[in-house]
Amino acid sequence: MVGPDAAPRAYDDRMSSDDTTYTDSLLALGELVAEHGIRVVVSDLDGVLRVFDASLWDELDAMTGTPDGTSFRAVLGHPYLDDVVRGRGTHARWRELAAEQLVGAGSDPAAAREAVDRWAGTPAVVDQRVRTMLLHLRAAGTAVFVLTNGTDRVPEELAALGLEDVVGEDGRFLLNTADLGAAKPDPEAFARAKARIGRVLGEEIPPERIAFLDDSPRHVEAAARCGWHAVLHRASGTERAAPRLP
């Protein structure tokens, strides 16, 4: 067993004790909490607790008559998203700009607007394995927060999914970068998230007592550089993994 004062590091859920077999990221998270004196667990939202069907992008490309990958780049690849997740822009304006980019890529304007509305209105699914794990950890005495590169719509989206049991009825356990003003993987995002955690709990939590779960290798590595223990989460295999920009 590794002692609680072991140096924080990033954990890839593919690695087991013999470095040859796959283990589950949730199991790795549980082991971290048990073996490292973890006081706080911070989970990512999208791709971890909340998942989307990535086949939607193919449908949107067909709707707009654009090449494969065009809709994904117009929405999640739009540079304005960097402002949105830092609280300098709105979800509504992001949708407008995404539709404009689809038109620039050759889509009919009406089809572009319809595609963006289709994307924005498509419901997500809660990964119940992750939800159960987070609630179990909280019930056992570990503080649980959700840190997301989010938008001004995140609170209402989580309410629609019934995730108040995870983020709190008043959202106190939600760390939305649109509110923090800094986004992952920026070190400032982790610093501001840690400060918010301290204010909610009424005490400062040392970084080595925080465990982080995220599906982005860049975010996991950034958290580890900030002194947090971090686990790379991977889809369970029941859903198609969403494509990522470089």
Q: Over the stretch 223-234, which tens digit does the pLDDT of each residue have?
A: 999 999 999 998
- pLDDT at position 71: 98
- pLDDT at position 86: 98
- pLDDT at position 236: 59
User: Which residue type occupies 208?
Assistant: E
Segments of the chain with pLDDT less than 50:
1-7, 13-23, 237-246
The string over 136-147, giving b where at least 16 C-beta atoms fall within 10 Å of a residue's C-beta and e elsewhere, is ebbeeebbbbbb
- pLDDT at position 10: 62
Rounded-to-integer distance, Cα 27 and Cα 46, Å: 19
- pLDDT at position 234: 85
Q: DSSP string covering 8-45, please?
A: P-EEETT--TTSSS---HHHHHHHHHHHTT--EEEE-T
What pTM value is reported for the model? 0.88
DSSP state of 46: B
